Amino acid sequence: MEKDLSDYRKSYQKGELLLDNVPENPLELFRDWFMEVDTHFNVEETNAMTISTLGLDGYPKSRVVLLKKYTYEGFIFYTNYLSEKGNAIAHNPNVCLSFFWQSAERQIIIKGKAEKIAENLSDGYFESRPRGSQLGAIVSNQSEIIKDRNALEERLKALELQYEGKEIERPKYWGGYIVKPIELEFWQGRPNRLHDRIRYRLQADYNWKIERLSP
């Protein structure tokens, strides 16, 4: 099987990113970009992001998860702590997040350290989830091998009966991580592949060093 993609080309011309007009704190630029994309660029899931971890087998692995909250401290998402992703983070908390908003011709790459959030925060988010999603977190032993789809469906039916009329508590193996950034790179597509790239790096005094990178 072979397909030549060398003639796939696109001209990027929807915006610019210059050192003269970026804030000192990259989290403010993230907020502004996120709101602009969410409001004006018809992206179905603006909060979809790729998280890359280093697995126990020594290989990096990337997958898409959903950002659920961002603050000046970092970026929060939820998962099964015993999953392949969770085990990788426990072994090596250095991760990379990336957002690619094609319709806005923008990309953000974030390096940081992941750590579990407080249990009461995970409890609060779990309580806000639809009941089906709550049960789903219990049904799935995430990343483990299963016989077939029916095994999941049967376990879900059993749990629906078990919890009928009852409150569903968050399982201790499921909860949130916050990724505290040490570096953020903002990428804006430009014509002739001369893209704008602005990088923020956290310094020892907790200020951010801002640099323009060659495309």
Can you tell me the mean pLDDT for 58-74? Answer: 98
In three-state secondary structure terms, 192 is helix
pLDDT at site 7: 82
Provide the 10 A C-beta neighbour count for residue 39: 10
pLDDT computed for residue 13 by the predictor: 82
pLDDT at 142 over 90: no
User: Residue 158 and residue 13: Cα distance in Å, rounded?
Assistant: 54
Q: Which of the four pLDDT bands, split at 50, 70 and 90, describes residue 21?
A: very high
Cα separations in angstroms, 86 against 39, 126, 138, 140: 32, 17, 16, 14
Task: Examine the pLDDT at 162 and tell me if it is beyond 90.
Answer: yes
Which residue in the list 9, 31, 149, 193 is annotated as catalytic?
193
Rg of the chain in Å (alpha carbons): 20
Topology of domain 19-127+172-213, per CATH?
Answer: Pnp Oxidase; Chain A (2.30.110)
Per-residue pLDDT for 6 more than 90?
Answer: no
**Residue 106 appears among annotated catalytic residues:** no
Q: How many helices (H) and strands (E) does the chain have?
A: 5, 9
Place of tokens 């961002």: 70
Write out the two tokens for 18: 């210059």
- In terms of phi and psi (left: phi > 0; alpha: psi -120 to 50; beta: otherwise), the region of 104 is alpha
Which of 66-70, 141-145, 160-164 is modeled with the greatest confidence?
A: 66-70
- Does the structure show a pLDDT above 90 at 140? no
- Using CB atoms within 10 Å of the CB of residue 26, give its burial: 0 to 12 exposed, 13 to 18 middle, 19+ buried: buried
Sequence length of the chain is 215
Q: What is the pTM of this model?
A: 0.93
Residues in a beta bridge with 183 = 111, 201
In one letter, which amino acid is 1? M
For residues 168-189, b (16+ Cβ closer than 10 Å) or e, as one string? bebeeebbbbbbebebbbbbbb
* CA neighbor of 71 nearest in space, from 175, 200, 181, 174: 181
